[in-house]
């Protein structure tokens, strides 16, 4: 799963291929090989599912088969086929005609998909559905209706469902095992996987290395963010990922002090903010030569890593004054990374 160039999300930010994303595309490949029509992933918020969905939509280099992607947001779809059809058409880029009969809407969907696939000379539509936990039970069956019609025309539908844990129920696999019908489960969700976060030092090192050595900071930059802020360092042997163990240990210490277990996963948003802080506020300082423990501790505090409960998705809110000594105010750090 290696992209020849940097993939950017819809906000123009570089997408860093993580270990979780690599595992995800491997599972999708396996699902396609087994002739399933979909795959499901679930995790707590801020673990990178939305970033993964954009990677699938904007980068097809990982796949050894052709597909045409469409990124969908499952919000207020509605349980009737008519409402579902209007939503589906909007997600693939076509205007719905509200006064058509359900059959005419189905025909319009199939013809629209055929047009999309013909343009790109493919026969497989990838629909990547973010916030799939918001889909009503009956609406899942409508995917089957569209799927069946596509098969009649020699086309294939593959749906990637991205669920958020603790949103619809308190059981992470309730949607897979109980909520959908056996027909939906066997077609789309036989492959149902937890989308993990940063699990250990090796995951962290992989992320930092790609962040600093492979990801352009923006379109056409031809340089990563750390290399742009401290180019003189990268002319030598300095690399941020060489400090991965120290960063991991500092993060674990902060989480343990906040009452979390020593062995748990980090969400992507604070992980990325740690590296961003070090790149923008530390290694670029005049006279900087080596990353100190205090620098790493400040980066961990700024990221909010110790405030996030990965088992429930909750954030422990802190008083604003507690961040003052981390100098967290400047706008150049406020990117609002949107991994979810």
237-268 confidence digits (pLDDT tens) = 999 999 999 999 999 999 999 998 888 899 99
Q: What's the chain's average pLDDT?
A: 87
pTM: 0.85
Q: What SS3 state is found at 272?
A: helix
* Structural domains for the chain: 19-194 (3.40.50.300), 201-333 (no CATH)
- 233 pLDDT more than 60: yes
Q: What share of the chain is helix, strand, coil (3-state, %, to 5)?
A: 50, 10, 40
Burial group, residue 39, by CB count within 10 angstroms (0-12, 13-18, 19+): buried
Q: How much of the chain exceeds pLDDT 70, in percent?
A: 85
Position 334 confidence tier, pLDDT thresholds 50, 70, 90: very low
Q: Select the highest-mean-pLDDT range: 4-8, 39-43, 316-320.
A: 39-43
The dihedral sign for the CA sequence 47, 49, 51, 52: positive
| Least confident span in 52-66, 103-117, 129-143, 156-170 | 156-170
pLDDT of residue 311: 56
Mean pLDDT of 196-211: 97
Q: How much of the chain exceeds pLDDT 90, in percent?
A: 68
Mean pLDDT of 31-46: 93
CA 113 – CA 109 distance, rounded (Å): 6
Are residues 123 and 151 in contact, defined by beta-carbon separation less than 8 angstroms?
A: no
pLDDT of residue 203: 98
**Neighbouring-strand partners of residue 202:** none
pLDDT of residue 171: 41
Q: At what angle do helices 102-120 and 81-91 cross, to 10 degrees?
A: 20
- 90 pLDDT more than 50: yes
Are residues 337 and 272 in contact, defined by beta-carbon separation less than 8 angstroms?
A: yes
136-181 confidence digits (pLDDT tens) = 888 899 999 999 999 999 999 999 999 988 654 444 445 544 468 8
pLDDT of residue 314: 58
| Least confident span in 69-78, 165-174, 192-201, 227-236 | 165-174
261-299 confidence digits (pLDDT tens) = 888 899 999 999 999 999 999 999 999 999 999 999 999
Q: What are phi and psi of 91, to 5 degrees?
A: -70, -30
Mean pLDDT of 317-321: 45
């Amino acid at each position: 799963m290696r992209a020849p160039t940097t993939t950017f999300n819809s906000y123009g930010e570089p997408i860093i291929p993580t270990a979780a994303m690599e595992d995800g595309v491997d599972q999708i490949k396996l699902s396609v090989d087994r002739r399933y029509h979909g795959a499901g992933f679930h995790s707590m918020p801020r673990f990178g599912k939305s970033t993964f969905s954009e990677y699938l939509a904007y980068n097809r280099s990982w796949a050894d088969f052709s597909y045409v992607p469409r990124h969908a947001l499952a919000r207020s779809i509605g349980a009737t086929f008519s409402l579902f059809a209007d939503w589906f058409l909007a997600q693939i880029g076509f205007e719905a005609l509200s006064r058509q009969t359900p059959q005419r809407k189905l025909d319009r969907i199939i013809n629209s998909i055929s047009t999309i696939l013909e343009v790109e000379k493919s026969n497989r539509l990838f629909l990547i559905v973010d916030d799939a936990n918001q889909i009503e039970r009956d609406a899942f069956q409508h995917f089957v209706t569209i799927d069946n019609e596509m098969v009649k025309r020699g086309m294939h539908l593959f749906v990637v469902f991205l669920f958020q844990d603790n949103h619809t129920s308190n059981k992470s696999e309730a949607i897979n095992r109980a909520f959908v019908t056996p027909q939906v489960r066997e077609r789309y969700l036989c492959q149902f996987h937890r989308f993990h976060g940063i699990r250990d030092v090796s995951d962290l090192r992989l992320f930092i290395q790609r962040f600093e050595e492979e990801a352009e900071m923006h379109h056409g930059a031809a340089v990563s963010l750390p290399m742009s802020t401290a180019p003189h360092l990268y002319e030598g042997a300095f690399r941020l990922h060489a400090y991965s163990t120290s960063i991991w240990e500092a993060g674990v210490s902060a989480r343990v002090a906040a009452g979390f277990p020593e062995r748990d996963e980090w969400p992507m948003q604070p992980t990325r903010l740690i590296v961003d802080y070090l790149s923008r506020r530390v290694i670029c300082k005049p006279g900087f030569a080596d990353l100190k423990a205090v620098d790493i501790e400040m980066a961990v505090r700024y990221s909010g890593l110790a405030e996030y409960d990965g088992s429930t998705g909750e954030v422990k809110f802190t008083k604003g004054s507690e961040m003052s000594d981390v100098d967290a105010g400047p706008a150049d750090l406020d990117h609002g990374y949107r991994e979810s």
